[in-house]
Copies of this chain bind each other. A is one copy, B any other.
Amino acid sequence: MTGTKSGAEAQADPLAAPDTPFALLDVAKVRRNIARLAERVGDLGVSLRPHLKTAKSLEVAALVHGGEPGPITVSTLAEAEAFADGGYTDILYAVGIDPHKLPRVLALLRRGVRLSVLLDSTAQARAVREAAASAGTPIPALIEIDCDGHRGGFTLEHPSLVETGRILAGCDSLAGVLVHAGESYFADGLAEQREAAARERDVAVAAARKLRDAGLEVGTVSVGSTPTAHAATDLTGVTEVRAGNYVFFDLVMAGLGVCDVHDLALSIVVTVIGHRPERGWLLTDGGWMAMSRDRGTAGQRVDQGYGLVTDLAGAPIPELVMTGASQEHGVLSTRDGTAPPELPIGTRLRILPNHACATAAQHAGYHVIDAGETAIRGYWKRISGW
């Protein structure tokens, strides 16, 4: 465990030591979440390309791949560069490529990193072709395919899909196709998630077939999202699965039934700094700067406010919810309007977040504990910026 302190030092850093608010990672839960998906994906006979946009941490990435650099997905070139520095050589940058960023892509390719880009237009494919020609090197590119109208990607019927494949193939840059079932984040329950997973796979395989029917070679057929990766029962024709949120999980995923609240590995430690008994409020020093403004459970069956509350050891405090936030203040109150527990000023609590990707991004790194421990084992830095 990088950053782990020796036994004696660890005892000197209990959970009560760092000033609040801070991000806390339970590495035993991270390992359990990783093992669960690894087993599932192994059973389905495909490889896993974890999306590191949630954790943005070399130490977490090492846990996913058993300590050896393996295939990964990233959301920024800053992540790609940091993971390349950490020895990763097979990286997918899964945001539609801005032609302006191709020089940084080429710089990574020159370093021996197989960095793949993503695109869904002939304009981007032509930019890739020009950059590849002037650099004298192919730029591996995946064509994004849309399966549910969530965001980007060609529909299967789009008239430019095959033309884009031809442009890329003409400069040895056609790596394959990619689908992301983004709407699965609203698929409530296993039945809907299975349907989303089947559609994601069907569309990816159909797109690959369409390109192959046009005489093009399609190596990678990439699918994935945390809900569909856990729900898929058949991935015939798919070569790899992506998922990111699952390493930490969060209340949105618990609300969909993808995980249980006890699986949440990330929490924010806060301190009670005030009481407003006449309003039923406890005030804390963890506001939206510590939690993010994400209210992802607002549209779910149970709105969890800005997060659920546990004691410092992680035991849930029933009915207590973070219901309000300003920049550096959190408001805790009970779901049923009864008086909150009497917690003195200075009491430390943990808040379980709606959306781990957004909450983690508010912090420079994670204080790390192992199962059931109250001593901090290390500090894992996050990669930030673009």
A positions within 8 Å CB-CB of B: 16, 19-22, 53, 75-77, 95-101, 104, 120-121, 123-124, 127, 149, 151-152, 155, 182, 271, 273-276, 278-279, 283, 285, 288-290, 292-295, 326-329, 331, 344-346, 355, 357-358, 361-364, 384-386
- A121 and B274 form a contact (CB under 8 A): yes
Contacts of A152 in B (CB 8 A): 273-274, 276, 283, 329
Tell me how far the C-beta of A385 lies from the nearest C-beta in chain B, rounded to whole angstroms: 6
Tell me how far the C-beta of A241 lies from the nearest C-beta in chain B, rounded to whole angstroms: 19
Please measure, in the bound complex, the distance between the C-alpha atom of A254 and the C-alpha atom of B33, giving whole angstroms.
45
Please measure, in the bound complex, the distance between the C-alpha atom of A283 and the C-alpha atom of B345, giving whole angstroms.
46
Tell me how far the C-beta of A76 lies from the nearest C-beta in chain B, rounded to whole angstroms: 7
- A95 and B346 form a contact (CB under 8 A): no
Please measure, in the bound complex, the distance between the C-alpha atom of A123 and the C-alpha atom of B343, giving whole angstroms.
12
Contacts of A22 in B (CB 8 A): 386
- A386 and B19 form a contact (CB under 8 A): yes
Please measure, in the bound complex, the distance between the C-alpha atom of A150 and the C-alpha atom of B357, giving whole angstroms.
29
Contacts of A289 in B (CB 8 A): 75, 361
Tell me how far the C-beta of A326 lies from the nearest C-beta in chain B, rounded to whole angstroms: 6
- B285 and A95 form a contact (CB under 8 A): yes
Contacts of A99 in B (CB 8 A): 345-346
A151-B326, A327-B357 known; A344+B123 contact, CB < 8 A: yes
- B75 and A328 form a contact (CB under 8 A): yes
Please measure, in the bound complex, the distance between the C-alpha atom of A25 and the C-alpha atom of B76, giving whole angstroms.
23
Q: Chain B: which residue is nearest A22 at the CB level?
A: B386
Tell me how far the C-beta of A329 lies from the nearest C-beta in chain B, rounded to whole angstroms: 6
Q: Specify which of B121, B279, B290 is in contact with A275 (CB 8 Å cutoff).
A: B121
Instruction: Supply 4 further A-B pairs (C-beta < 8 A) apart from A121-B274, A152-B276.
Output: A95-B328, A98-B345, A292-B293, A293-B294
8 shortest interchain CB distances as A-B pairs: A293-B293, A96-B273, A123-B345, A293-B294, A98-B271, A152-B274, A95-B328, A75-B328
Q: Specify which of B149, B273, B327, B363 is in contact with A279 (CB 8 Å cutoff).
A: B149
- B283 and A100 form a contact (CB under 8 A): no
Contacts of A275 in B (CB 8 A): 121
- A283 and B96 form a contact (CB under 8 A): yes
Tell me how far the C-beta of A248 lies from the nearest C-beta in chain B, rounded to whole angstroms: 14
A96-B273, A293-B294, A364-B384 known; A77+B19 contact, CB < 8 A: yes
Interface centre among A21, A77, A100, A385 (most CB of B within 10 A): A100
Tell me how far the C-beta of A116 lies from the nearest C-beta in chain B, rounded to whole angstroms: 16
Q: Specify which of B53, B98, B327 is in contact with A273 (CB 8 Å cutoff).
A: B98
Tell me how far the C-beta of A12 lies from the nearest C-beta in chain B, rounded to whole angstroms: 16
